[in-house]
């Protein structure tokens, strides 16, 4: 032994001089080259900061789909052929002052039409509105068909031409499609091109949405209001929401900084922790860009988590250094000794957090996998930026005198909170606590059984019910009568097969089944459309409202569908959707439709025609619900297996494992009850919450129980051991709990509903697990982990205890 | 009794308050139905289907379909040819043409004089007659002056004559002496969807609110003015001299007097097509639409005058 011991003693003598050859190789390399490494760290940070500044922002829906689900595979395979489900927005122009048959309104409408027409990305050939000459009326006359543009070519704003327009709208049957049912609004149907036909650049959703907003702002004063719905608008709004959430990071950072300052009372070390944690965030963002990721509504949340975890672990590091300096050590030595003490433990804690994130990756939804990967990467970055750089930087800067004094004062205080919490270890109190917890948990469990899968509120579930977008959806739904929840079945056939009578008949059969289902408003497909188009060849006679067995008649009808509604059938007549418009997107509605289609497909699929699930937003949602429900159990099993294993390795005592895990189970159960209470469903965003809560929540138990067992081994009573454990680690537990909660709680104000739900739930899990650990652990320990249980443990862990005692002696000597 | 898509037949015996679905052996779309007594009736539709009921519509049996007709009718004319009847040549040609792309073509209307004698008429001049209540059907293509194969949209008896409404302003009237449907040109250029009337007059109605009126059993026709300008799908003469009621493609129910001198219009509250109409009780109409059956009570609704024509 005692080269080390001697050297430490010597070092202390000269007040900061230190044997540079002590410690691990790693430690020596780090501290002996600290200037160079610091410089490299700064350079790397600058480089990655430059990278992160160039991060792209997008809101990809594809990433939120369960990519391995059969429905999604089918959808992706045929997406290119399903043009009716393609990218388009509907702009409804509402006349605030009355009917659309008004010269002023029509003038405004035509100007808006021209402006929208010119927005980049619009597929101009297929734009439809009252002012597009391609929108025509037709009528059967004695001579055959008669028709013309709905907007009279000689329109001059006179009441005659307005009357003519009204007649044409009636003849063309535009009510409910391009004209509102109450005639107070009319619609522009704007198909978009995914890629610019000249430059090949992908559609810029943000720019597109901004252009529409500018048009609305400009024309608002003229008595009209624009209601815009459609995928592109939704994505644009999500991007705007995501930028807003990103700005909450500043709030989170300020709140967390204040907490750390309150904890350390040292401006220097607070700044160091915050700066190093920000470095971790910058590294994470920079690496994210280098690996080709973009910021989306999920990945934007990772910096918050990384920052909070970095701050809470960094705080332990400065806590050690402050305490060492408070005890009279030089800044260099204090930093280096703290590093030596905490390097391994800190790394293990961070790795276990990373493990918690990694477990989430079992969910086969790319957005969640990305989230898991990026968070894991961020935590790994923290090992470098926080565990290594904090002591290195503090070895240069030291801490403020005030902080050192504060640390001294805290150590000598009577720890009233800890004493108070220690009361829980009284048998009567412990029984009381355990019984109340059991009652609350059972009640929570029963209540939590009512948890819904998926979303239930009307409108786009990504945004809040009262968001501008969802209000617009509601307006359009009310005034045009069609729902926004589309469930599409994909019908595939061999080349030309959709002209086949039997295929159309089978499609019609499925359509009829769907139409009879509760929750289905209307259906649309090549078959029902063929019925509508067949009479056109027979003077509109309703007796010809049929799918004819005659290939000539049927092919004629199918050709007309292809011209009039190209989305319902593809060029080669091999792919066609059956679209069911649903009254809502409740999980049971979706499941009911999915089951009917699956049963039909099982019976009717053959080599001439296949009925495949599913496309449309409701189809994707059905797949997501199924995946999420299955993944929930899978993930819970995995995450609990992981933390149980981690606890077993750490404590080597089943009693301790039970004590560590039970509070997590309680809080998870209550979390589920909270979801029911708040009307939050189990969905892509809330699925990882339990896993994250448990993965990070186990840290509290790790800190508390490790210390508790050490003190128990030293022969203390349950209460003494617990109070001492609280004095040494309780504050860290609280700091971790509060900083994590503060960071994620800011999401609750996000305009993106799933982020808000996620923030609320995570805040509950982080805070709940902290309180659960502080309150339930002592109550359980009173009965499960008493000094007499430790006797055996002591024997088993004799070697380790010896080592512990030895280390303690070392440390005490060093401090003398 | 109403017929609809996919072999749907519903019967009501309480003026449309409740409906009972019948047992039907086919899934073809049905378009017309007729009853000659409480129990006996026929229904026709796509795929050349003719169905019969003998129990008031509870169950139906198939008498003919496109496949059977293709074979039987061709054989019928081939036999006639063998017997050296030259008029069969054109008829055979027309029959072969009609069944060339399968058994698809529909019968659009059916009418029975009594429990034995009846006609079914349809697309591209398809016409068949039975004398034994439909046990056997024979083609009548050689007994109608329809060389251009016009669609035969409707068949009915008015004031002792049997009429068929067709395209291009054409009406056929059965000459009971020669047993041939003779062509009548009304002077109209569009299609007649149906024919109605009584002993004193025959009314043929059709596209774009067109109606023609004849007071001499169909020999001469005058146009009726003032109807709303959408295709009339069905019409009938109400009892007790209450005039006619018509339903249109635009979802209008039009009431008029016996002489078509004034019109009252009831517009549907929905965007829908009215396909046929009956008076279930006094001033209570049942209207069939593509979405189901609508009940229209005159006492509950206000009529308006048709908008002036341009």
Judged against a pLDDT cut of 90, whether residue A746 lies above it is answered with yes
**Which of B28, B124, B206, B208 is the mutation pick for testing A, counting most A CBs within 10 A?**
B208
Out of A140, A542, A549, closest to residue B290 by CB: A542
| CATH code of the domain containing A388 | 1.20.1640.10
- Is B231:A539 a contact under the CB 8 Å cutoff? yes
Say yes or no to pLDDT of A2 above 70.
Answer: no
For an interface test with B, the pick among A549, A552, A554 (most B C-beta atoms closer than 10 Å) comes out as: A549
Q: Is A118 in a helix, a strand, or coil? A: coil
Does ipTM come in above 0.85?
Answer: yes
Classify residue A428: in a domain, yes or no.
Answer: yes
- What does the pLDDT look like over A341-350, one tens digit per residue? 777 777 777 7
| Cβ separation A541–B193 shorter than 8 A | yes
Instruction: Please compute the mean of the pLDDT values over residues A87-94 and round it to a whole number.
Output: 88
Task: Based on the fold, state whether residues A663 and A804 are members of the same structural domain.
Answer: yes
Across the range A309-333, mean pLDDT stands at: 82
Residues of chain A with Cβ-Cβ distance to B67 below 8 Å are none
Same domain, A399 and A425: no
Going from the C-alpha of B41 to that of each of A32, B20, B115, B127, the distances in angstroms are 106, 16, 8, 18
Do A434 and A570 belong together in one domain?
A: no
- Identify from A145, A170, A178, A550 which residue to disrupt to test chain B contact, counting B C-beta atoms within 10 A and taking the largest count: A550
Say yes or no for a CB contact (<8 Å) between A548 and B46. yes
CA dihedral A42, A44, A46, A49 (to 10 degrees): -130
3-class SS of residue A426: coil
B91-95 mean pLDDT: 90
Kindly state whether A516 is in contact with chain B, defined as any CB-CB distance less than 8 angstroms.
no
Residue A293 has pLDDT above 60, yes or no: yes
Task: Identify the pLDDT of residue A814.
Answer: 43
**pLDDT of the residue at A144:** 66
Cα-based distances in Å from A724 to A12, A384, A717, A807: 28, 31, 10, 18
Residue B207 with chain A: CB contacts under 8 Å: 140-142, 539
Q: Is the pLDDT of residue A5 over 60?
A: no
Range in A95-104, A249-258, A584-593, A781-790 the model is least confident about:
A781-790
Assess if residue A215 is contained within a domain. no
Q: Is pLDDT at A808 greater than 70 in this prediction?
A: no
Q: What is the residue-wise DSSP string for A491-559? A: EE-STTGGG-HHHHHHHHHHHHHHHTSTTEEEEE-HHHHHHHHGGGGGTT-GGG-S--S-HHHHHHHHH
The model's pLDDT over A31-84, given as tens digits with 9 standing for 90+, comes to 888 888 889 999 999 999 999 999 888 877 778 888 889 998 898 888 777 765
Q: For residues B233-262, give the mean pLDDT.
A: 91
- Which of B212, B250, B310, B207 is CA-nearest to residue A145? B207
Identify the band that residue B286 occupies on the pLDDT scale cut at 50, 70 and 90: very high
Model confidence at A145, in pLDDT bands (50, 70, 90)? low
Token couple for A387: 């565990």
SS3 for chain B is CEECHHHCEEECCCCCCCCEECECCCCCCEEEEEECCCCCEEEEEHHHEEEEECCCCCECEEEECHHHHHHHHHHHHHHHHHCCCCCHHHHHHHHHHHCCCCCCCCEEEEEECCCCCEEEEEHHHCEEEECCCCCCCEECHHHECCCCCCCEEEEEEECCEEEEEECCCEEEEEECCCCEEEEEECCCCCCEEEEEEECCEEEEEEHHHCEEEECCCCCCCEEECCCCCCCEEEEEECHHHCCEEEEECCCEEEEECCCCCCEEEEECCCCCCEEEEEEEECCEEEEEECCEEEEEEHHHCCCECCCCCC
Please tell me the predicted confidence (pLDDT) of residue A790.
Answer: 66
Residues A31 and A177 in one domain: no
A552–B contact, CB cutoff 8 A: yes
Q: Is residue A15 part of a domain?
A: yes
Per-residue pLDDT reduced to its tens digit, A452-465: 888 777 778 888 88
Beta-sheet strands, E only, within A616-691? none
Examine the pLDDT at A812 and tell me if it is beyond 60. no
- Look at residue A233 and tell me if it is in a domain: no
Range A368-396 average pLDDT? 88
Q: Are residues A280 and A322 in the same domain?
A: yes
Across the interface, of B31, B103, B189, the residue whose CB is closest to A549 is B103
What's the mean pLDDT when you consider all of chain B?
A: 91
Please state, as a whole number, how many other Cβ atoms lie within 10 Å of the Cβ of residue A792: 10
Q: Same domain for A771 and A801?
A: yes
A198-213 pLDDT, tens digit each: 787 778 888 888 999 9
Residues in chain A with CB shorter than 8 Å from the CB of B26 are none
- A543 vs B31: CB contact, 8 Å cut-off? yes
Nearest CA in chain B to A501: B104
A706 and A616 housed in the same domain = no
A12 pLDDT band (50/70/90 cuts)? very low
Domain boundary among A350, A385, A411: A411
C-beta of residue B230 within 8 angstroms of C-beta of residue B209: yes
Residue A231 lies in a domain: no
pLDDT class of A14 with cuts at 50, 70, 90:
very low
Query: Quick check: is A192 in a domain?
Result: yes
pLDDT tens per residue, range B183-211: 999 999 999 999 999 999 999 999 989 99
Residues of the domain holding A432: 414-463+653-816
Closest Cα in chain B, distance from residue A508 (Å): 10
Report the residue from B6, B104, B275 with minimal CB separation from A550: B104
Clarify whether residues A151 and A261 are in a common domain: no
All domains of chain B in start order, with CATH: 1-143 (no CATH), 225-310 (2.40.10)
Neighbours of B53 (CB within 10 A): 23
Q: Cα–Cα–Cα angle for B31, B34, B39, nearest 5°?
A: 130
Could you tell me if residue A139 is inside a domain?
yes
> Among partner residues B106, B123, B249, which is closest to A540 by beta-carbon distance?
B249
Which of B105, B151, B207 has its CB closest to that of A140? B207
Q: Which of A202, A231, A260 is the last residue of a domain?
A: A202
Do A498 and A455 fall into the same domain? no
Judging contacts by C-beta atoms under 8 Å, the chain B residues touching residue A508 are: 6
pLDDT in tens, A664-713: 999 999 999 999 999 888 888 888 888 888 888 888 888 888 888 888 88
Give residue B155's pLDDT: 96
Lowest mean pLDDT among A388-397, A405-414, B148-157: A405-414
Distances from the Cα of A293 to the Cαs of A175, A296, A394, B133, in angstroms?
45, 9, 34, 78
A175 touches chain B (CB under 8 A): yes
3 state SS of A574: coil
Are A503 and A616 part of one and the same domain? yes
Preferred mutation among B21, B46, B165, B274 to probe A, highest tally of A CBs within 10 A: B46
Band (A85; pLDDT cuts 50, 70, 90): low
Residues of chain B in contact with residue A512, where contact means CB-CB under 8 angstroms, are: 6
Which of A299-313, A351-365, A492-506 is the least confident region?
A: A351-365
Measure the CA–CA gap between B310 and B304, rounded to whole angstroms. Answer: 18
In this structure, the answer to whether residues A325 and A365 fall within a common structural domain is yes
Q: What is the mean pLDDT of chain A?
A: 84
Answer yes or no: do A293 and A437 share one domain: no
How far apart are the CA of A624 and the nearest CA of chain B, in angstroms?
34
Highest mean pLDDT among A125-139, A309-323, B38-52: B38-52
Q: Residue A81 domain-assigned?
A: no
Q: Which residues of B touch A548 (CB under 8 A)?
A: 46, 104
Q: Predicted confidence band at A16 (pLDDT cuts at 50, 70, 90)?
A: very low
pLDDT tens-digit readout, A512-548:
999 999 999 889 899 988 888 888 888 888 899 999 9
A201 exposure class (CB count in 10 Å sphere: 0-12, 13-18, 19+): exposed
Domain count, chain A: 4
pLDDT at A249 over 90: yes
Does B190 contact A141 at a Cβ distance shorter than 8 Å?
yes
Which is more confident, A248 or A86?
Answer: A248
B103 contacts in chain A (CB < 8 Å): 549
pTM of the predicted protein model: 0.81
The verdict on whether omega for the bond into residue B216 sits within 30 degrees of 0, i.e. cis, is no
Quickly list DSSP for A696-756. HHHHHHHHHHHHHHHHHHTT--HHHHHHHHIIIIIHHHHHHHHHHHHHHHGGGG-SBHHHH
């Amino acid at each position: 032994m005692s080269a080390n011991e001697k050297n430490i003693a010597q070092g202390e003598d000269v007040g900061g001089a230190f044997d540079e050859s002590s410690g691990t190789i790693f430690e020596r390399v780090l501290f002996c080259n600290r200037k160079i490494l610091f410089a490299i760290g700064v350079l790397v940070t600058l480089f990655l900061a430059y990278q992160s500044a160039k991060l792209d922002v997008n809101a990809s829906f594809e990433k939120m789909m369960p990519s391995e689900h059969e429905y999604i595979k089918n959808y992706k395979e045929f997406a290119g052929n399903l043009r009716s489900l393609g990218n388009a927005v509907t702009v409804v122009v509402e006349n605030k002052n009355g009917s659309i048959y008004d010269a002023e309104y029509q003038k405004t409408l035509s100007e808006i039409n021209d402006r929208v027409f010119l927005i980049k990305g619009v597929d101009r050939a297929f734009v439809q509105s009252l002012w597009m000459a391609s929108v025509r009326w037709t009528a059967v006359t004695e001579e055959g068909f008669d028709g013309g543009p709905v907007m009279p070519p000689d329109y001059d704003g006179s009441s005659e031409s307005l009357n003519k327009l009204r007649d044409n709208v009636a003849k063309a049957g535009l009510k409910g499609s391009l004209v509102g049912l109450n005639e107070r609004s009319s619609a522009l149907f704007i198909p978009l091109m995914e890629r610019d036909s000249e430059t090949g650049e992908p559609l810029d959703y943000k720019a597109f949405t901004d252009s529409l907003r500018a048009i609305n702002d400009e024309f608002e004063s003229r008595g009209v209001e624009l209601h815009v719905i459609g995928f592109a608008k939704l994505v644009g709004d999500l991007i705007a929401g995501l930028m807003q959430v990103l700005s909450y990071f500043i709030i989170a950072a300020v709140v967390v900084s204040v907490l750390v300052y309150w904890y350390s009372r040292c401006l220097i070390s607070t700044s160091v922790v915050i700066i190093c944690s920000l470095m971790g965030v910058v590294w994470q963002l920079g690496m994210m860009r280098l690996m080709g990721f973009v910021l989306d509504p999920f990945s934007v949340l990772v910096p918050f988590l990384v920052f909070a975890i970095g701050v809470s672990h960094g705080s332990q590091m400065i806590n050690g250094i402050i305490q060492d300096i408070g005890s009279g050590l030089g800044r260099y030595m204090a930093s280096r000794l703290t590093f030596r003490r905490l390097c391994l433990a800190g790394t293990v804690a961070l790795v276990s957090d990373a493990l918690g994130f990694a477990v989430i990756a079992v969910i086969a939804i790319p957005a969640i996998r990305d989230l898991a990967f990026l968070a894991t990467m961020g935590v790994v970055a923290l090992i470098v930026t926080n565990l290594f750089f904090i002591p290195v930087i503090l070895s240069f800067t030291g801490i403020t005198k005030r902080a050192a004094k504060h640390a001294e004062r805290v150590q000598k205080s009577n720890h009233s909170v800890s004493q108070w919490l220690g009361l829980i270890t009284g048998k009567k109190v412990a029984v009381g606590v355990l019984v109340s917890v059991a009652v609350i948990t059972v009640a929570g469990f029963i209540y939590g059984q009512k948890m819904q899968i998926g979303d239930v509120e009307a409108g786009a579930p990504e945004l809040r019910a009262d968001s501008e977008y969802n209000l617009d959806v509601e307006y359009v739904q009310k005034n045009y009568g069609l729902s926004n929840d589309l469930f599409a079945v994909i019908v595939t056939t061999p080349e030309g097969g959709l002209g086949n009578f039997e295929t159309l008949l089978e499609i019609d059969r499925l359509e009829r089944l769907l139409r009879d289902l509760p929750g289905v408003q209307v259906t649309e497909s090549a078959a029902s459309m063929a019925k509508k188009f067949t009479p056109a060849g027979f003077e509109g006679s309703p007796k010809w409202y049929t799918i004819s067995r005659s290939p000539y008649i049927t092919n004629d009808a199918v050709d007309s569908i292809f011209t009039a509604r190209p989305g319902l059938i593809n060029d080669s007549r091999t792919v066609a959707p059956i679209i069911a418009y649903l009254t809502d997107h409740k999980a049971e509605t979706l499941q009911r439709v999915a089951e009917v289609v699956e049963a039909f497909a099982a019976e009717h699929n053959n080599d001439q025609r296949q009925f495949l699930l599913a496309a449309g937003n409701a189809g994707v949602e059905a797949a997501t619900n199924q995946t999420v429900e299955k993944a929930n159990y899978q993930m819970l099993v995995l995450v609990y297996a992981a933390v149980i294993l981690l606890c077993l390795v750490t404590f080597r005592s089943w009693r301790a494992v039970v004590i560590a895990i039970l509070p997590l189970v309680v809080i998870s159960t209550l979390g589920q009850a909270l979801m029911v209470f708040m009307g939050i469903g189990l969905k892509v965003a809330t699925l990882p919450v339990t896993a994250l809560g448990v993965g990070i929540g186990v840290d509290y138990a790790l800190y508390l129980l490790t210390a508790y067992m050490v003190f128990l081994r030293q022969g203390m009573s349950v209460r003494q051991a617990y109070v001492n454990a609280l004095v040494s680690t309780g504050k860290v537990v609280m700091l971790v709990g509060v900083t994590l909660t503060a960071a994620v709680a800011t999401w609750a104000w996000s305009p993106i509903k799933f982020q808000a739900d996620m923030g609320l739930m995570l805040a509950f899990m982080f805070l709940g697990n902290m309180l659960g650990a502080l309150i339930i652990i002592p109550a359980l320990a009173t009965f499960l982990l008493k000094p007499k249980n430790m006797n055996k443990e002591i024997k088993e862990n004799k070697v380790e205890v010896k080592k512990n005692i030895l280390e303690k002696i070392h440390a005490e000597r060093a401090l003398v | 009794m109403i017929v609809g898509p996919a072999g749907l037949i519903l019967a009501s015996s309480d003026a449309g308050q409740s409906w009972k679905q019948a047992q039907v052996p086919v899934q073809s779309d049905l378009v017309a139905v007729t009853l000659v007594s409480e129990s006996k009736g026929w229904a026709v539709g796509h795929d050349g289907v003719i169905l019969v009921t003998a129990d008031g519509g509870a169950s139906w049996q198939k008498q003919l379909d496109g496949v059977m007709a293709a074979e039987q009718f061709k054989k019928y004319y081939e036999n006639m040819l063998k017997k050296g009847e030259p008029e069969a040549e054109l008829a055979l040609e027309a029959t072969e043409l009609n069944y060339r792309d399968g058994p698809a073509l529909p019968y659009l209307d059916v009418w029975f004089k009594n429990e034995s004698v009846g006609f079914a008429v349809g697309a591209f001049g398809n016409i068949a007659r039975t004398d034994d209540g439909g046990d056997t059907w024979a083609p009548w293509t050689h007994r109608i002056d329809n060389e251009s194969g016009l669609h035969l949209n409707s068949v009915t008896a008015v004031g002792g004559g049997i009429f068929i409404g067709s395209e291009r302003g054409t009406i056929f009237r059965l000459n009971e002496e020669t047993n041939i449907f003779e062509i009548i040109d009304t002077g109209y250029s569009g299609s007649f969807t149906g024919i109605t009337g009584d002993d004193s007059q025959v009314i043929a109605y059709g596209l774009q609110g067109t109606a023609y009126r004849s007071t001499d059993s169909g020999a001469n026709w005058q146009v009726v003015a003032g109807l709303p300008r959408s295709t009339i799908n069905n019409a009938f003469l109400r009892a007790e001299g209450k005039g006619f009621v018509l339903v249109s493609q635009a979802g209008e129910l039009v009431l008029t007097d016996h002489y078509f001198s004034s019109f009252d219009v009831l517009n549907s509250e929905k965007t829908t097509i009215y396909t046929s109409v009956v008076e279930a009780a006094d001033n209570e109409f049942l209207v069939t639409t593509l979405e189901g059956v609508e009940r229209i009570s005159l006492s509950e609704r206000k009529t308006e005058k048709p908008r002036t024509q341009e």
